[in-house]
């Protein structure tokens, strides 16, 4: 195994650890998840306070704050008539709203009292609070002053420790993915990204193998090498493997993630403000690595492999040009019609490489096209594939569960017609219409197994609920939930 890192250059994320307890110390700050018929005496409210709260809940208040000589109670109404999935997402979003108040009041420890006896809702509220507490302060001069006060979340209720452990591992994975996306491209080179994958593997106990440029050249991965031609940084191709002895699947689930550490568009140079957040173009690779990290930490009995090609896409005299023809890992020749359609080139090499594992299923995830973002906006991701219907439905249901929803698009054969080249086997871009589908159809050419393609947006320019501003960590919770249920 080839290891390339000398030092682990990222700091461990500053994050909340969620835990469970039975009793609440006197004077603690408490969130009470409740309905109008809950027993408020159990969480320490007086009869008068309980009557007031019940009246407010019946009046449909969002949440009810009570201050008893400096001790804060926050009553969070729960709608038991709502669907479980919808109410869980409401808990996450309401936690985010309350988080702003918690921070202003500089509360350090917060107890979550489950007065509705619903562990799933209690965990969802804690999840929303923890995700809202994320900050990227590495480059702040006064980060100690800006650090949020909240550091401890304690659920008081009937929640299994295994469920809390898994939630903590997933949250840690999301934090790691966000950190990676938020790092500037001048720091997060392909080799340093691979080094972080190795560090994650050492921490969580999964295997990591990194191929350097010489190895990539030897394997003739023409897609990765073509995109890398304009760069001064060498590419990498990382393979992550979690194969526990009790794995339920003998053939692996393979996850492939796009790892473009910065995308200028190459000769098809991005214009206006389309380049300002292009450090996020490795968010797919970050999501895959972070999901496998959480899977390994949770000891899930699933055999999973991650394939993570990485380079940046720069403009230089040596950069690949429109009209060039390249030869991919599987021998397919591709005419470069647009150098800004680079992510599919590196992913295609990874997808062709996946064939050697005879996988049960392959899912790739990428910030691949602006077309997907225009179609779905910030509220989900585009998905398509040829996997069995029940597999896609499971993935879509997992997306609903964690509110990283998938809008399914077709992969009809007609879209392949747009990718025909007069001088090569394929060209790397179709017409101006349905760009997310022709991108998926291009990638499908390199597969020979059940396959799903996810095209996501993973960077928020403004704060949006618990996903925050900057890197969102999108995809980590979805992939973990899918692998947990697989």
Residues 6 or more apart in contact with residue 39 via CB below 8 angstroms: 115
Q: Is 68 a catalytic residue?
A: no
Token pair of 316, please?
């230089």
Three-state DSSP at 57 gives helix
Pairing, β 381-385 against β 451-455: antiparallel
Q: Classify 100 in phi/psi space as left (phi over 0), alpha (psi -120 to 50) or beta.
A: alpha
CA-based nearest residue to 368, from 451, 239, 471, 458: 458
* Cβ-contact 309, 259 below 8 angstroms: yes
Three-state DSSP at 386 gives coil
Tally of CA atoms within 13 A in the half-sphere of 356 that contains its CB: 9
Beta partners for 408? 383
* Cβ-contact 122, 460 below 8 angstroms: no
Beta partners for 66? 73
Q: Is 344 a catalytic residue?
A: yes
Which candidate in 19, 93, 97, 270 is catalytic? 270
Give the largest CA-CA distance in the chain: 81
Pairing, β 207-211 against β 459-460: unpaired
C-alpha distances (whole Å) from 32 to each of 121, 236, 388 are 11, 49, 43
* Cβ-contact 292, 170 below 8 angstroms: no
DSSP element (H, E) containing 112: strand 109-114
Beta partners for 174? none
* Cβ-contact 120, 85 below 8 angstroms: no
Euclidean distance between CA atoms 479 and 60, whole angstroms: 35
Euclidean distance between CA atoms 376 and 380, whole angstroms: 6
Three-state DSSP at 27 gives coil
* Cβ-contact 390, 396 below 8 angstroms: no
Which candidate in 92, 192, 344, 427 is catalytic? 344
Q: Where are the alpha helices (DSSP H) in 64-221?
A: 84-104, 119-132, 143-146, 161-182, 190-204, 213-219
Question: Looking at the chain, how many residues does it have?
Answer: 486
Question: Which residues does the annotation mark as catalytic?
Answer: 270, 344
């Amino acid at each position: 195994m080839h290891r390339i890192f000398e030092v682990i250059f990222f700091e461990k994320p500053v994050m909340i650890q969620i835990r469970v307890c039975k009793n609440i110390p006197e004077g603690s700050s408490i969130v009470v998840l409740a309905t109008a018929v809950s027993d408020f005496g159990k969480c320490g409210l007086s009869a008068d306070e309980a009557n007031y709260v019940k009246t407010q809940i019946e009046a449909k208040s969002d949440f009810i704050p009570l201050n008893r000589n400096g001790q804060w109670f926050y009553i969070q109404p729960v709608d038991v008539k709502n669907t479980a999935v919808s109410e869980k997402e409401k808990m996450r979003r309401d936690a985010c709203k309350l988080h702003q108040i918690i921070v202003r009041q500089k509360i350090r420890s917060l107890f979550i009292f489950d007065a509705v006896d619903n562990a799933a809702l209690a965990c969802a509220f804690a999840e929303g609070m923890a995700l809202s507490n994320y900050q990227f302060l590495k480059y702040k001069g006064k980060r100690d002053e800006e650090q949020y006060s909240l550091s401890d979340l304690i659920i008081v209720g009937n929640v299994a420790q295994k469920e809390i452990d898994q939630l903590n591992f997933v949250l840690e994975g999301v934090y790691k993915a966000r950190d990676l996306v938020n790092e500037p491209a001048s720091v997060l080179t392909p080799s340093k990204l691979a080094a972080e994958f190795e560090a994650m593997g050492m921490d969580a106990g999964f295997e990591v193998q990194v191929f350097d440029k010489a190895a990539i050249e030897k394997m003739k991965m023409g897609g990765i090498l073509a995109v890398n031609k304009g760069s001064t940084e060498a590419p990498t191709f990382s393979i992550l493997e979690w194969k526990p002895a009790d794995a339920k699947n003998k053939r692996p689930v393979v996850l492939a993630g796009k790892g473009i550490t910065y995308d200028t568009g190459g000769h098809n140079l991005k214009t206006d403000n389309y380049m300002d957040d292009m450090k996020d173009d490795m968010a797919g690779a970050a999501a895959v690595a972070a999901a496998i990290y959480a899977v390994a930490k949770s000891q899930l009995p699933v055999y999973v492999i991650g394939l993570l090609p990485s380079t940046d896409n720069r403009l230089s005299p040596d950069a690949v040009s429109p009209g060039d023809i390249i030869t991919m890992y599987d021998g397919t020749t591709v005419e470069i019609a647009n150098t800004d359609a680079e992510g599919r080139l590196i992913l295609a090499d990874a997808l062709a490489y996946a064939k050697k594992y005879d996988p049960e299923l392959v899912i790739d995830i990428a910030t691949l096209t602006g077309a997907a973002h225009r179609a779905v906006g910030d509220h989900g991701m585009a998905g398509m594939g040829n996997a069995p219907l029940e597999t896609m439905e499971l993935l879509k249901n997992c997306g609903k569960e964690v509110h990283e929803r998938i809008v399914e698009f077709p992969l009809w054969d007609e879209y392949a017609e747009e990718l025909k080249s007069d001088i090569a086997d394929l060209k790397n871009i179709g017409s101006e219409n349905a760009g997310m589908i022709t991108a998926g159809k291009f990638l499908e050419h390199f597969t020979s197994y059940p396959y799903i393609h996810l095209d996501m947006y993973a960077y928020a320019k403004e704060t949006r609920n618990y996903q925050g501003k900057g890197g969102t960590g999108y995809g980590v919770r979805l992939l973990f939930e899918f692998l947990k249920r697989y």
